[in-house]
Amino acid sequence: MRALTTIEQLSTDEILQLVKRARQLKAGSPSQVPTGLTAANLFFEASTRTKMSFEMAERKVGLTVLPFEANFSSASKGESLYDTVKTLEAIGVNVLVIRHPENMYFEALIGKVKPVIINGGDGTGNHPTQSLLDLMTLLDEFEDLQGKTITIVGDLAHSRVARSNVQVLSRLGANLQFVSPLEWQAEFPVLYSLDEALPNSDVVMLLRVQHERHDEHQSFTKEHYHSLYGMTKQRMDAMQEHAIILHPAPFNRGVEIADDVVEGSKSRIFKQMENGVYMRMAILEHLLKEEAE
């Protein structure tokens, strides 16, 4: 496999193998990436977690990481993504992690370029590595997801995280519930009340309200959204004893999540970030194992 662009391209077995390998790497197993390979992270949209987590993972598996700043690259002079990738191919880069605002940007690259392509997020389409690290975090908590009720809450319309997670979670037998305001429900069959969805939820997966993708007529006030859909301490306390809260972050404190829930007893948000490094190491290993030095 020369790319990871969507969850659909992975079999369920491959997904579970990645979780297993990420756990081994977290427990200290040495990585098995060939030596002498080089990576670059091409982020044309803002990122803290995905970019830094990939860079940490790349260094941990022994890759040389070339810095790339989109704003100071020739993309700002109009160079296309394809030409940027061909340039990096020519100078010897072996793996590229790319985040780009255009949905399915990778279709213009796959089969035409030599570097391994990993999708770090395409527009509102896919975020496969986030889903895999979310799954690792869920399987740290529950033996399996068969019959577990997972409630995904918030800005579904703009969420590549939700789209990739639906793929993985439904394949593994979870019951999915969606809670969203009408204007952000997109293709999902939603409940309009978070309070109605909480009592039977084993997991509540909060989504970031993506203010930057909204026009001014779409957006709720922060207070209004928080009162209807925000995870407050009171709502967290109303969840089942064993239930947990995930959020891919960055989170809007006081909008989709209250300050005192971020590090509350049910939150696994920072565990998701920690697991992300090991999941990305496992992904790099899986994709690069056959690359010759």
- Quick check: 267 binds ligand CP (CB under 6 A)? no
Q: Kind of pairing, strands 175-179 and 95-100?
A: unpaired
- 128 interacts with ligand CP by CB under 6 A: no
Q: Looking at beta carbons only, is 41 or 201 nearer to ligand CP?
A: 41
Q: Is 4 an interacting residue with respect to ligand CP (CB under 6 A)?
A: no
Site for ligand CP in 32-91 (CB under 6 A): 47-50
Considering CB under 6 A, how many residues would be counted as binding ligand CP? 9
Q: Which amino acid is at 112?
A: K
DSSP letter at 219?
Answer: P
Q: Which secondary-structure segment (H or E) carries 149?
A: strand 149-153
CB of 114 to ligand CP, least distance (A): 26
CB of 140 to ligand CP, least distance (A): 18
Q: Is 248 in the site for ligand CP (CB under 6 A)?
A: yes
Kindly state the smallest distance separating residue 160's Cβ from ligand CP, in Å. 9
**Minimum CB distance to ligand CP smaller for 47 or for 185:** 47
Q: In what order do the strands lie in the sheet with 149-153?
A: 190-191, 175-179, 149-153, 203-206, 244-246
Pairing, β 64-66 against β 95-100: unpaired
Contacts 24+ apart (CB under 8 A), 233-241: 233/258, 233/260, 233/261, 233/264, 235/194, 235/195, 235/198, 236/261, 236/264, 236/265, 236/266, 238/195, 238/198, 238/199, 239/198, 239/199, 239/201, 239/204, 239/266, 240/199, 240/200, 240/201, 240/202
Single out the residue of 130, 137, 164, 267 in contact with ligand CP (rule: CB under 6 A): 130
Cβ partners under 8 Å of residue 112, min gap 6: 82
By beta-carbon proximity to ligand CP, the closer residue of 128 and 248 is: 248
How many whole angstroms separate alpha carbon 87 and alpha carbon 17?
33
Nearer CB in complex with ligand CP: 92/250: 250
Beta carbon nearer to ligand CP, 208 or 266: 208
- Determine if 250 is a binding residue for ligand CP (CB under 6 A): yes
Q: Which is nearer to ligand CP, 48 or 146 (CB)?
A: 48
Question: At closest approach, how far in Å is the CB of 163 from ligand CP?
Answer: 13
Shortest reach from residue 70's CB to ligand CP, in Å:
14
Binding site for ligand CP (CB under 6 A): 47-50, 121, 130, 248-250
